Amino acid sequence: MMRATFLTALHLLIIPLNKVQARSVLYGACDVANNHLDVNTKAFITDCDSFGYCSTNGTCQPKQCRRDEYILSSLLNTDIPIPPLCPSGSFCPDDASGCLDLVDVGGECQLNRDDECAPPPDGTVLVVPSPFDEPEGNGSICLLGQCVWSNISLGSTCIIESTTYIGYDISGMSFTNIVTRDNCIQGQGYCDTNTTTCLSLVGIDGSCQEDRQCQSYNCQRGVCIIPPETSRKVGKWVYAITGVSIGIGMAGVLAILLLMHRRAQTKSRIMLEEYYKEQTAYRNSIISFHSALSGKSTREEIKRTMSNLSQVTLVEKH
| pLDDT of 124 | 84
User: Residues 6 or more apart from 150 whose CB is under 8 A from it?
Assistant: 125, 127, 137, 139, 140, 141, 182, 183, 184, 185, 186
Beta strands 160-168 and 52-54, pairing class: unpaired
Q: Rounded to an integer, what distance in angstroms lies between the CA atom of residue 66 and that of residue 317?
A: 83
Q: Rounded to an integer, what distance in angstroms lies between the CA atom of residue 232 and that of residue 237?
A: 15
| pLDDT of 300 | 63
Note the pTM of the prediction, 2 decimals: 0.66
Q: What is the pLDDT of residues 150-206, one digit of tens each?
A: 999 999 999 999 999 998 888 888 899 999 999 999 999 999 999 999 999 999 999
C-alpha closest to that of 210 among 198, 202, 219: 219
Using alpha carbons only, give the angle 258, 261, 265 rounded to the nearest 5 degrees: 140
Q: Rounded to an integer, what distance in angstroms lies between the CA atom of residue 123 and that of residue 162?
A: 28
Q: Rounded to an integer, what distance in angstroms lies between the CA atom of residue 207 and that of residue 158?
A: 22
> Residues of the chain whose pLDDT is less than 70?
1-21, 74, 292-318
Q: What is the DSSP letter of 156?
A: S
Q: How far is CA 170 from CA 14, 17, 137, 240, in A?
A: 7, 10, 33, 50
Residue type present at position 135: P
| pLDDT of 81 | 87
Residue type present at position 177: N
User: Residues 6 or more apart from 148 whose CB is under 8 A from it?
Assistant: 105, 106, 117, 140, 141, 142, 159, 183
User: Residues 6 or more apart from 144 whose CB is under 8 A from it?
Assistant: 159, 161
DSSP codes, 208-277: -SSGGGBTTS-EETTEE---TTPPP---HHHHHHHHHHHHHHHHHHHHHHHHHHHHHHHHHHHHHHHHHH
Q: Delimit the domains of the chain by residue range.
A: 1-101, 105-161+183-255, 271-318
